[in-house]
Structures are given as structure tokens and as C-alpha cells.
A and B are shown apart, each in its own frame.
Chain A
Amino acid sequence: MLRRLLRRVSGTTVFMWLIGIAMLVVVVWGVYATLSSGRYKASDWIDLTVYGIAQGSVYALIALGYTLVYGILRMINFAHSEVFMSGPFIGYFVAMALSQSGFFNRQPFVSLIIVLLVAMTVSTTIAVLLERIAYRPLRRAPRLVPLITAIGASYFLQYTFLGLFGSGIKGYPEVAQLKGYWPFPGTSSGILRTQAVVIVSAFVMLAILYVFVQRTKTGKAMQAVSEDKDAAALMGIDVDRIIVITFVVGGALAGAAGVLYALLFKQVKFDMGFLPGIKAFTAAVLGGIGNVNGAMLGSLFLGISESLFPNLVLDGLGLPAPYQLKDALAFIMLVAVLIFRPTGILGERLAVKKA
């Protein structure tokens, strides 16, 4: 009996489970140590969680771009982080022009909507161009080829923006109405106004997308194509058109995410896409890549844990300056998810391999 068990369980499996257990122990120990030290008040945790939700809702908008494209093309659109970056970047110039004319101060919300629309248009254009020029010719190529192309396109776009517009950090003009807090009634904590605006707008857009994918004819066609491209084509669905629409939707959401991100962190820069991009991808994987609901859930989960983790776990372990390892957490979660549950939280099993 033991012999049969040994034949099935390889050394690598054991090794992986050991890593998993070690990680779990570290997390539990850290949480316990932090909570028992009583260093943080309840309001601290609420602030961190709100911050995490704001961050996570931005990730959700980006993650949808990854997940939709992956669902349909089975390809990681590595350049999606640059689609995300390009919108708010051009939006910045529009905002500055509006600000100089004085319109921005008179009508800040109208201006923001204009900036948002410009950013969505730019990101969509970049996404569609990417698909047309770089990905479409490679649709039948071996898997690694489009991935390498996407990596190349990502760096090309990043450094083209650097060359065109310079390396300086660009800040959006301040909106007076968005400064300060809205307190939660009955508590000592509150929510930053920008955070509230970001969370609400993100959720509105997510809701619109959800309805689009689930209810409209085009959305259903997208689902069909992601299920089986060839069968969908036989059913009379124009696969090329659906793929373009997927990039349009992903691009528009990424552009919007970019503006919200810029509001939250008050800066745009040519390399601002890399980290949110990879984190959003992590979130998409976390939720089960190809799964729209999963991407939203995974993003919120990642946003919140990223915000809580340094204080909750690392602080308890006595690490100096734990916030430095905040970004490492996203990567560790990515690695851990892919190792232990590659299908993600809500992921359906990836199509059974055919012999």
C-alpha cells in the first residue's frame, strides 16, 4: 500500500506542500503576533481596508482586460499595462489644457469626464492597434511567439512614451471638491473623497461591463468565442470582429482605470503601468483567468490583502520597514496561486487537454 502511494506522490509534490505549509505558518504566526501586540486601533484597519478596496477596484478594471483577452485568445496580453498607461498619459495633456483655460476649475467634474473619455479613447486605440499590428498575424503561431511579441510591444510602447513626452512625473490638476474626508457616521474613521469617487466609478463601470457580457448579443458572442473559436465561427459569429471588440472593451476599461489610478496616486509616468499591470494579472489569475466575476473578486481580494499584509503579517514578525515588501506580496501570491490552485478561486478547469 505504501509502495503504491510512494509511486504516485513524487518528491516535487512533497516539496511543494512543505513550502505551502511554511507559508501558512508564517502568515498565521505574523497575524497572531500583530494582533496580540495591540499596536493598531480598529480605525487603522478600517482605513487600510478602504484603501485596499479603492486599489482593488482599479485592479479589477485592468484585470478584466487580461481576463477577457485570455479567455478568447489564450494569450497573456503583456502590453496591457501600457494600454493602461497610455490613456491617463494623454488625458494629462487634456487636463492641463483645460486647466490653463480655466475650465477645469469652473467645471471640475465635467472636465474629469472629458479626461476620462479621452483616456478611454486613447487606450482603446492603442489596444486595437496592438491587436491589428502585433497579434493578429500571429494567431496561429506557437504559444510563445505572441507572448514574446507582447513583451516587446510593452517595452516599445513604454519607451516610446518616454521618448515622446519625457520622463518627468506628471501630476493631474487638483480638484478642490475632492480634497478631504467624508467621515463614517458614528466612528472616528472616514473615507477619503478621492477614494470614494474611485470606488463608485469603478463599480459603475464593472456593473455596465457585467450587463454587457451577460445580456447583450455581442457579449454572448464573446462568451461563445471564448468557449470554442471554430464552433463559434461555424455558428456565423465573426470571430475577428469579436476579438477586436474584446480589445476595445479591455482597452476602454484600462483607460478608465488609468484615470482613476492617477486620481488616487496623483501621478502619471511612462512606467506607471508595470506594477498595476502585473498585479491586475495576478488578480485575474487569482480569480481564475478567463472568468469575469473571478477577476473582480480576485482584484478586491488582492487590493485588500496588499494593503493589510505589511502591517498585519510582517509587522508582527518584527521586520523593519515592512511596507517595502508590499509589492513582493503580489508576486508571492501570484506564485502561490499558480502553484497550489492554478485554476484560481472561481476558475473552471482549463479545457481538458486533447491527445
Chain B
Amino acid sequence: MAILSAHHVTKRFGGLLAVSQFDVEIQENSIHSIIGPNGAGKTTFFNCITGFYRHEEGSILFKGEPLDGLSPDRITRQGIARTYQNIRLFQNMTVIENVLVGGHVHLRTGVFGAVARTRGVMAEEAKALEEARHTLRFVGLAGRGDYMAVNLPYGDQRRLEIGRALQTRPALLLLDEPAAGMNPSETEDLMAFVRRLRDELGLTILLIEHQMRVVMGISEVVTVLDYGEKIAEGTPAQIQRDTKVIEAYLGRRATA
């Protein structure tokens, strides 16, 4: 079953067609990659899904419900979380605070509760903290909770960003170039980690990635975008053989 489906999604910036008549179906519990040369419209599509941009045409359905026109916070509450290409943590907050912010939508405490600190509020906080610690352990940051996010090494910042996204308890996780700037062994770890996200947490993963090793290694379906248009879709093996892809993407690079 498709958890997310986009129909004829089009996004323009002035005269530029960033995404054009884009159709895609993301199957539940799959790892799905979107690839394409720089400026192909991948991140723009992410921004359309998460409500950060409003697409002019087409619609995006999540679990059968349209997301179009919803504000980003409401979309997150529907069960979609994301990370960013250039890591965007809350830098001057501690690691565990970052994760706790991710849990924001699942907590109830309002102004009065926060001031009165009733038993219910305290229990909720304790539970949130426990869950946040659990998430930190899951992403491999146990014991780093009190560090300032800005002081973490690069790889850990990536993990924290994923941890923060996980804390919103998404059904669909969008990862924007998670392997950027990683060395081969770190990349290897990341691939295993993404598989764990799917297998252990039952998430659906939609991935933008430039490193072909990652894309071909873990994805079940690969969609190729070029100049905002879908030019191919299929299993990694099919994509690798696709002449259009080789021409538009790999080929152009080979000749360059």
C-alpha cells in the first residue's frame, strides 16, 4: 500500500519550473530514494511534502488524506518528519533538549500545567525524558545528552538530527542527503542504521542521496528526477541499466 502518493505536483519559482508534473508512490515500509543531478528539484519536493513550500498544481496524499495547504507543523503531526541537507540543529540547546523538542507534539502541558507542575505534568515530563534518552541510545548518542548540540562532531550531529526527527514518532521519515560529508566507514554505518530504522521501527524512508553506493545499496525503489521531471523509476538494478538515466545523469557526468 502506498503511504504517500504525489500526483502531478508542480512548483514554480518565478519562471523556473522546479518540480514539474511529478508523480510518485511511496510504498509503506519501504526505502525509497530520489536521485538526480544538483538542482533537479529533489529538496524542493521535500519542501512541498512538509508544507514549507506550497505547490501550485497537483496534490500530495498521505495515508489517503491530502496534505496540500496544511502548515508544516500540522503535517508533522500527521506523521512525517525530516532532516536537512545542511544540518539544522538547535545549536545552543543541549542534545537532549533537541530530542525533547522533537517530542513536543506528543506532550500536553500548557502554561498552567508548566507552572503548577501537577503530578500528571511531572509524570509526562519524566516519561518524555525517558523516551528521549531511549532515542539517544538508539541513535548512539547515549551519555552525550548534556552536550551543547553545536559542540558535537559532524557525524553525531547527523545522528542527533535523525534522533530529533524520530522523536516526533513519524510513519514517514524524509532524509535529505544523510551521507553527505561522510567517509566510507561512516557511510557503511549509516546504511545499516537506515535499515534498522525501517526494520526495527517500521518506518517508511524517503531518501535524497548523491552517493550512489548508498542509494543502490539500500533502496528498494529509486526515482530519478532531472530538471524537475521524473525520467525513470524502478529497482536499483533497473535504474543502473536505464539508458535515459545514464544519458541524463551518469552519462553527462562521464562526459564532463
**Measuring CB to CB, which residues of chain A are less than 8 angstroms from any residue of chain B?**
4, 7-8, 10, 352-353, 355
Contact B69 A355 (CB under 8 A): no
Contact A352 B52 (CB under 8 A): no
Contact A355 B13 (CB under 8 A): no
**A4 with B52: in contact, given A352-B13, A355-B84 (CB under 8 Å)?**
no
A residues near B46, Cβ cutoff 8 Å: 355
CB of B70 closer than 8 Å to a CB of A: yes
The chain A residue sitting closest to B66, CB to CB, is A4
Task: Give min CB distance, B12 to chain A, whole Å.
Answer: 11
Tell me the bound Cα distance from A318 to B93 in angstroms: 55
Contacts A8-B69, A353-B52, A355-B47 aside, 10 further interface pairs with beta carbons under 8 A come to A4-B66, A4-B69, A7-B70, A8-B70, A10-B71, A352-B13, A355-B43, A355-B46, A355-B52, A355-B84
The chain B residue sitting closest to A4, CB to CB, is B66
B residues near A4, Cβ cutoff 8 Å: 66, 69
A residues near B66, Cβ cutoff 8 Å: 4
Residue of A4, A8, A355 with most chain B CB atoms under a 10 A cut-off: A355
The chain A residue sitting closest to B85, CB to CB, is A355
The chain A residue sitting closest to B52, CB to CB, is A355
Contact B69 A7 (CB under 8 A): yes
Task: Give min CB distance, A3 to chain B, whole Å.
Answer: 11
Our count of residue pairs bridging A and B at CB distance below 8 angstroms stands at: 16
Tell me the bound Cα distance from A8 to B75 in angstroms: 12
Tell me the bound Cα distance from A352 to B46 in angstroms: 15
A residues near B69, Cβ cutoff 8 Å: 4, 7-8
Per-position 1/0 for B27-47, Cβ under 8 A of A: 000000000000000010011
**Measuring CB to CB, which residues of chain B are less than 8 angstroms from any residue of chain A?**
13, 43, 46-47, 52, 66, 69-71, 74, 84-85
A residues near B13, Cβ cutoff 8 Å: 352
B residues near A8, Cβ cutoff 8 Å: 69-70
10 A-B residue contacts at CB 8 Å? A4-B69, A7-B69, A7-B70, A8-B69, A10-B71, A352-B13, A355-B43, A355-B52, A355-B84, A355-B85
Task: Give min CB distance, A354 to chain B, whole Å.
Answer: 9
Tell me the bound Cα distance from A352 to B12 in angstroms: 11
9 nearest A-B pairs in the assembled complex, by CB-CB distance: A8-B69, A355-B47, A355-B52, A352-B13, A355-B43, A7-B70, A355-B84, A7-B69, A4-B66
Tell me the bound Cα distance from A8 to B43 in angstroms: 23
Tell me the bound Cα distance from A355 to B52 in angstroms: 8
The chain B residue sitting closest to A9, CB to CB, is B69
The chain A residue sitting closest to B88, CB to CB, is A355
Task: Give min CB distance, B97 to chain A, whole Å.
Answer: 18
Tell me the bound Cα distance from A7 to B43 in angstroms: 25
A residues near B71, Cβ cutoff 8 Å: 10
Tell me the bound Cα distance from A353 to B53 in angstroms: 9
B residues near A10, Cβ cutoff 8 Å: 71
B residues near A352, Cβ cutoff 8 Å: 13
Tell me the bound Cα distance from A4 to B66 in angstroms: 9
Tell me the bound Cα distance from A10 to B84 in angstroms: 28
Tell me the bound Cα distance from A8 to B69 in angstroms: 6
Task: Give min CB distance, A140 to chain B, whole Å.
Answer: 14
Tell me the bound Cα distance from A7 to B71 in angstroms: 9
Tell me the bound Cα distance from A10 to B73 in angstroms: 13
A residues near B43, Cβ cutoff 8 Å: 355
Tell me the bound Cα distance from A121 to B46 in angstroms: 52
Tell me the bound Cα distance from A7 to B65 in angstroms: 12
Task: Give min CB distance, B86 to chain A, whole Å.
Answer: 9
Tell me the bound Cα distance from A353 to B47 in angstroms: 11
Tell me the bound Cα distance from A355 to B71 in angstroms: 15
A residues near B84, Cβ cutoff 8 Å: 355
Tell me the bound Cα distance from A4 to B68 in angstroms: 9
Tell me the bound Cα distance from A352 to B13 in angstroms: 8
The chain A residue sitting closest to B44, CB to CB, is A355
Tell me the bound Cα distance from A8 to B54 in angstroms: 12
Task: Give min CB distance, A68 to chain B, whole Å.
Answer: 24
